[in-house]
Amino acid sequence: MRERLYRAPTPREPERWHALWLLARGWSAVQVAEALKRDAHTIGDWAEDFRQRGPAGLVFEQTGGAPPVLNRAQQGELKAVVRTAPEAAGIELANWNWKVVRVFVQQRFAQPLSPSSCLNYLHRLGFVLRRRRSNC
Whether residues 19 and 53 share a domain: the answer is yes
Range of the domain at 105: 72-124
Query: Considering the domain boundaries, does residue 129 fall inside one?
Result: no
Whether residues 50 and 76 share a domain: the answer is no
Per-residue pLDDT in tens (0 to 9) along the chain, 136 residues: 767 767 776 777 888 989 999 999 999 999 999 999 999 999 999 999 999 999 888 887 767 777 788 888 998 899 888 888 888 888 887 778 888 899 999 999 999 999 989 888 888 887 776 666 666 5
pTM, two decimal places:
0.49
Whether residues 80 and 112 share a domain: the answer is yes
Query: Considering the domain boundaries, does residue 20 fall inside one?
Result: yes
Examine the fold and report which residue of 58, 83, 104 is the final residue of a domain before the chain moves on: 58
Query: Considering the domain boundaries, does residue 101 fall inside one?
Result: yes
Overall domain count for the chain: 2
Query: Considering the domain boundaries, does residue 131 fall inside one?
Result: no
At residue 42, what is the residue type?
Answer: T
